[in-house]
Amino acid sequence: MQKASLSGFDPLLKLIHVLVLRKRFILGITLAGTALAALIVMIVPQKFRADALIKPPGNESSDQMGLKSVLEEAGPISGMLGSFFGSGTGQNDCLNILGSVQFARQIITKFELEKRYKFNERKNYKYADVVKVFNRNFSFAVTDEDAIRIGFEDKDPVKAAEVVEYAIHELDSMYTEIQKRSTNQKLAYFDERLGLAEKEMTTLEDSLVRFQNRNNLYMPEVQVPSTLESVVKMEAEMETLDQEMELESALRGKNTSRYDNLKVQRQVLDRDLRRKFAGHNDSSSLVFPVHSMAAMANEYFRLERAYKIKLTLYKFLVQQTEFLRLEAQKSMKAIAVLDPPWPNDKRVSPLRRLVVEMVFTLLLVLTSLAALVYHLWRMRLDQDPELARLAGSVRANLLKV
């Protein structure tokens, strides 16, 4: 039983035996390679990193809140007009600028990075290669709090901090320039649209005044009920006169003076009532004909509705034009620096300890596998004389070459 249990450890014991047998080979190559790696990482230039944290303009800035309030005053047309401005955020604009070639070119030119990266020592090189090296050292990312972290790596920590500081300044300048250019374009559009709106407002105002003067219709919400009330009152009076005339005729006959007076009153009311229905009104009267009352009121409300819509649009255009003029003249910084860059003297590369440990581990594993394969190969040659003869022939031919 004890022998059976120990037999399961035979492969492991054989493996340990092979490794111990080839320990000089394994340790020699591993230590030599590790020492070489340690020497190389000591020679490789060190890199330092400077970081900064900035807060880009967001959707709920004071300017955008002002625009929102102006759009709310525009009423039903606010959706149509608000879509003119788009829905991009300041964060997206900043990220696009940071990733642009123009932004990289500004920094490369400012700090002469072509010379710093020793591209000037090459006879032929592409500017895209300089940008590629710059992008390897320059990085930016959005944090969980929607801020942007900007970093730059260089062999000089002071230079790295200077590059990040200038990058923030250049980002603010380019972002402000883009916003001003966009604002000026919008301002030109609104100025042109405001001129057209003023002409349309003048035309509608003149049309409404002419219609009111021609029809004596100034306050239809008052004049229409008054006219209807007057007509109803006249019809009620006529019905009363008819009843009195019938009563007078039954009691005293139709030849009395009272009957004649009632008859004259009825004729006058009937004439006035017909005149109102027929459309013959006094040009100085504010009570207009019943026959054309509905058409006149409808035409008035149609003109008034068109005027109110144009007036709402006109007010919005005036407010927005003034708002954009203030935006065009604004010169304050758009980027808020939450954490400014500083010369960080802690090395970020090369990671010497990590590199040495990885090289040591890798060489130890590879040399152990090589020793095991070589041992198995020697065992195979000892068991097969023909294969050993063939291997010897190949070795002899290789030595001759």
DSSP per-residue string spanning 245-266: HHHHHHHT-SSSHHHHHHHHHH
Phi-psi region of 230 (alpha: psi -120 to 50; beta: other; left: phi over 0): alpha
The answer to whether position 203 is within a domain reads no
The answer to whether position 14 is within a domain reads yes
Pair 322, 336 in one domain: no
Please give the tally of structural domains in the chain.
Answer: 3
* Backbone Cα Rg of the chain: 49
- Do residues 381 and 393 touch, judged by C-beta distance below 8 A? no
Pair 138, 109 in one domain: yes
Pair 92, 79 in one domain: yes
The answer to whether position 112 is within a domain reads yes
The answer to whether position 396 is within a domain reads no
Domain of 251, in residue numbers: 216-329
Sign of dihedral through CA atoms 359, 361, 366, 370? positive
Instruction: Quickly tell me which residue has 């009825």 as its tokens.
Output: 266
Identify which of 200, 63, 192 has the alpha carbon closest to the alpha carbon of residue 71.
63
Report the distance separating Cα 99 and Cα 94, nearest Å: 9
Pair 51, 158 in one domain: yes
- Do residues 55 and 167 touch, judged by C-beta distance below 8 A? no
The answer to whether position 221 is within a domain reads yes
Pair 35, 52 in one domain: no
Pair 58, 109 in one domain: yes
- Do residues 324 and 183 touch, judged by C-beta distance below 8 A? yes
Query: ∠ at Cα 156 (154, 162), nearest 5°?
Result: 80
Which are the contacts of 10, defined by CB distance < 8 A and separation ≥ 6? Answer: none
Pair 38, 69 in one domain: no
DSSP classification of residue 120: G
The answer to whether position 401 is within a domain reads no
Length of the chain: 401
Per residue of the chain (401 residues), what is the pLDDT tens digit?
444 444 556 777 777 777 787 788 888 888 888 888 888 877 777 889 999 999 988 644 444 444 455 455 545 444 444 444 444 478 888 999 999 999 999 999 999 999 888 888 887 888 999 999 999 999 999 999 889 999 999 999 999 999 999 999 999 999 988 888 888 888 888 888 888 888 888 888 888 788 777 766 666 666 666 666 676 777 788 788 888 888 878 888 888 888 888 888 878 877 776 766 665 445 555 555 555 566 667 777 787 888 888 888 888 888 888 888 877 776 667 788 999 999 888 887 777 788 888 988 998 899 889 888 888 877 777 777 776 677 667 666 666 65
Pair 106, 254 in one domain: no
Distance of CA 90 to the CA centre of its chain: 7
- Do residues 288 and 281 touch, judged by C-beta distance below 8 A? yes
- Do residues 287 and 223 touch, judged by C-beta distance below 8 A? yes
Identify which of 66, 104, 98 has the alpha carbon closest to the alpha carbon of residue 85.
66
Within a 10 A sphere around the Cβ of 273, how many other Cβ atoms? Answer: 17
Tokens representing 221 are 């919400």
Report the distance separating Cα 145 and Cα 29, nearest Å: 50
DSSP classification of residue 57: -
Report the distance separating Cα 87 and Cα 110, nearest Å: 33
The answer to whether position 318 is within a domain reads yes
Distance of CA 201 to the CA centre of its chain: 35
Pair 84, 191 in one domain: yes
Pair 265, 365 in one domain: no
Residue-wise DSSP of 62-81: HHHHHHHHHHHHTGGGHHHH
Pair 54, 143 in one domain: yes
Pair 183, 236 in one domain: no
Strand partners, 151: 51, 139
Kind and range of the H or E run holding 47: strand 47-55
Helix (H, G, I), strand (E, B) or coil at 286: coil
- Domain CATH number, residue 96: 3.30.1890.10
The answer to whether position 206 is within a domain reads no
